[in-house]
Amino acid sequence: MSNKKVIFLSHTINEHTPLYGGDRSITLRQVKSIKRGDSCNTMYFSFPNHTGTHVDAPSHFLEKSLSISDLDAGFWIFDKVTLVEVSNVKPGYIIEPENINNIKDCELLLIKTGFEKYRAKEIYWQNSPGLHPKLAYWLKEKSPSLKAIGIDFISISNLNNRADVYKRQLHAHEPNRPV
């Protein structure tokens, strides 16, 4: 048996889950209920793919790139994980290489800003922090094994700088390209 520690990082999805761009199209409905005499409990879920804790594959923004189904389950098991705390992050703040200190080679980089405290407020999706486009190249140089980045805000881009950030960062598995 492995001595690996498993940490659950996901949020529970409910009708109050904040969505990118302020979308409010989450539907959760109980279809069958043992309490009502059904043989099982069954739920109906409908929501955009950007709901809650999720992964954006390169194909989300780049034509002819890897999709989630192109990655096997083992891709999502990380042996080398690094947590970086970036303090004093205000709404709209763009995280640059200067904000990331003492990074070592890792497969998963988790960036903790504390912005999650705004999760129940509109500012969480309206003016979240973001990652500067040059950060991806810098991270791949400092951490060649990097496969994924995790954040505690709604997206790697805020609504004001989204296209450029995604296109520069989502080139997973291409030599000398960022994750």
Query: Are the C-beta atoms of residues 129 and 103 closer than 8 Å to each other?
Result: no
Q: What does residue 71 show for φ and ψ, rounded to 5 degrees?
A: -100, 125
Task: Assess whether pLDDT exceeds 70 at residue 179.
Answer: no
Q: How far apart are CA 39 and CA 157, in angstroms?
A: 45
Average of pLDDT values for 141-153?
91
Task: Assess whether pLDDT exceeds 60 at residue 37.
Answer: yes
Confidence band (pLDDT; 50, 70, 90) for 172?
very low
- The tens digit of pLDDT for each residue in 61-95 reads 778 888 889 888 999 889 999 999 999 899 999 99
Helix H or strand E segment including 81: strand 81-85
Q: What does residue 43 show for φ and ψ, rounded to 5 degrees?
A: -115, 150
Instruction: Provide the residue ranges of all domains of the chain, joining segments of one domain with +.
Output: 1-52, 55-169
The pTM for the full model equals 0.82
The one-character DSSP state at 51 is S
Of the ranges 15-24, 43-52, 109-118, which is most confident? 109-118
Task: Assess whether pLDDT exceeds 50 at residue 59.
Answer: yes
Task: Assess whether pLDDT exceeds 50 at residue 176.
Answer: no
pLDDT for residue 175: 46
Confidence band (pLDDT; 50, 70, 90) for 141?
confident
- Total residues found in the chain within this entry: 179
Quote the CATH superfamily of domain 55-169: Putative cyclase (3.50.30.50)
